[in-house]
Amino acid sequence: MRIVDIITKKRDGGELSREEIEFFIQGYVAGDVPDYQAAAWCMAVYFQSMTPAETTHLIKAMAFTGETLDLHDVHPFIVDKHSSGGVGDKTTLVVGPIVASLNVPVGKMSGRALSFSGGTLDKLESIPGFQADLTIDQFKRQLRAVGLVVAGQTHELAPADGKLYALRDVTGTVPALPLIASSIMSKKIASGADAIVLDVKVGHGAFMQTEAEGVKLAELMVQIGRRLGRKMSALIGDMSQPLGRAVGNALEVIEAVETLHDRGPADFREHCVDVAGEMLLIAGLTTDPAAARARAAATLADGIAWAKFREFVAAQGGDVTFVDEPARLPRAPLIEPLPAPQSGYVRQVDAREVGFTVVDLGGGRAQTGEPIDHAVGAVLAENGKVGGMVEAGEPLLWVHARTQKTLDAALARLANAYRFSDEPVAAPPVIHRIIR
């Protein structure tokens, strides 16, 4: 077999066999397939897509090239969640502690920023000392001791995704349904989850722009997961505007801390309670969705989710004094408001524009492996979200920037992210649909 023939076959719309997909993935992980061929292959998949059978072969090849974790010596039933990515999506920081505080262990492999979408690990690394690179042994020990661990991809687990994820980010090949499905599901299968809750975002700030595309992605992953013996469910969440109010690494940690103290923005809190409730349902804590959500919400009100978050941060080397006093987290030197150009109701906040602006401010990466600025980002005003009513000149959001040049560029770009209406506008639903 030759890699160039596999690329050409996909480029021309052919269906790859299991053997061809395994050959490509194993060769890429071994270093025999160079990045330029892998990039060409990703682009061919982007344009030609894959059949469900090809996607299943790809998920398996990516999950089983490398080690797989067996966590059953830690707990008989491991529940995991994964978001398909979005802007202001700090859900894991709140949902993980909620679920773990109810004695359902969460051992999660997370990613870094990808295109306009932020990454959970980058957010957590704004906490001084926080260590995302754990060995399998450390991962298991922490899961046993604390019930919550969030770590990066190791070279041992799903290494194909580790390499492909970074390559896709810089080659314009992120928003391809089979590549997203295989990236998410290979990680989840390799990391030993028995049950997986998928948090699939739809809208202009997500890789799947329409509800129909999101449902297609979710249904494909649910089907494949079930075929591989996993319990699955998926929420289709809104990402037409940023989730919550903060976008940017340390700013999102601050918002997560606020939410864990039950003072977070309403949409983000509702989203977290819905995702956590789904995880409690799938873990079998209750069979009643309303009761599951109520139990999740109670952990925010009574402080046990917050206590679990602190324990988790400390276990991964993070200095908890920074989450106890989040004002000490990295803070940008320049903070300036974006004034509303007119009075009216906010009709649109383009989440993708906000996401790319934060990348340009230094909060994301243009090149694989680049360092990021944890302090920069944007914080939307409470009424600067869809449905909010603003007077001309009132702040829509605040930009947190490192330099005057990036600040000015961000303010100019964000001015185009907003649309207004003279008539009242309804806020979009937080969750569009649940697939159980």
Contacts with ligand URA, residue ranges (CB under 6 A):
84-85, 111, 114, 165, 179-180, 183-184
Sheet holding 246-247, edge to edge: 246-247, 377-380, 395-401, 334-339
Tokens of 192: 């030993």
**Three-state SS at 336:** strand
Ramachandran bin of 148, using left for φ above 0, alpha for ψ from -120 to 50, beta for the remaining angles: beta
We find the least distance from the C-beta atom of residue 263 to ligand URA, in angstroms, to be 28
Structure tokens at 100: 């773990």
Q: Is the CB of 41 or the CB of 306 nearer to ligand URA?
A: 41
Q: List the catalytic residue out of 101, 183, 186, 191.
A: 183
For 156, which DSSP code? S
Closest by CA position to 358, among listed 94, 125, 88, 132: 88
Catalytic residue status for 168:
yes
The C-alpha atoms of residue 208 and residue 239 are separated, in whole angstroms, by: 9
Q: Is 149 or 292 the residue whose CB approaches ligand URA more closely?
A: 149
Neighbours of 330 (CB within 10 A): 18
State the minimum distance, in angstroms, from the CB of residue 176 to ligand URA. Answer: 8
- Catalytic residue, candidates 10, 57, 82, 365: 82
Whole-angstrom distance, CA of residue 208 vs CA of residue 411 = 26
Nearest residue relative to ligand URA (C-beta): 183
Catalytic annotation, pick one of 163, 168, 352, 413: 168
Q: Which is nearer to ligand URA, 94 or 185 (CB)?
A: 185
- Write down the least CB distance from residue 278 to ligand URA, Å: 18
161 is catalytic: yes
- Compute, in degrees rounded to 10, the torsion defined by CA atoms 80, 85, 91, 96: 20
Residue closer to ligand URA, measured from CB, 65 or 406:
65
**82 vs 308, which CB is nearer to ligand URA?**
82
Query: Is 5 assigned a catalytic role?
Result: no
Annotated catalytic residue, options 60, 108, 140, 187: 187
Residue with smaller CB distance to ligand URA, 180 or 195: 180
Task: Measure the CA–CA gap between 161 and 166, rounded to whole angstroms.
Answer: 8
Instruction: For tokens 């390559």, name the residue.
Output: 167
Task: For strands 195-202 and 344-349, give the pairing.
Answer: unpaired
Phi and psi for 303 in degrees, rounded to 5? 85, 0
Q: Which two tokens stand for residue 200?
A: 């699939």
Going by their DSSP bridges, the two strands 79-83 and 195-202 should be labelled as: parallel
Of residues 134 and 176, the one with the C-beta less far from ligand URA: 176
**Contact status, residue 205 vs residue 116, Cβ threshold 8 Å:** yes
Q: How far apart are CA 201 and CA 237, in angstroms?
A: 5
Distance between CA 236 and CA 436 in Å, rounded?
11
Query: Minimal distance in Å, beta carbon 114 to ligand URA?
Result: 6
The CB-of-203 to ligand URA minimum distance in angstroms stands at 15
DSSP H helical segments within 176-210, as ranges? 177-190
Nearer to ligand URA, 228 or 294 (CB): 228
Q: Is 183 in the active site?
A: yes
Two tokens at 389? 């009513």
What pairs with residue 234 in β-bridges? 198, 435
Tell me how far, at minimum, the Cβ of 138 lies from ligand URA, in Å.
21
* Cβ at position 187, least distance to ligand URA in Å: 6
Q: Which of 80, 161, 267, 373 is catalytic?
A: 161
Residue with tokens 């395994």: 22
**Nearest distance in Å: CB 8, ligand URA:** 24
Provide the annotated active-site residues: 82, 161, 168, 183, 187
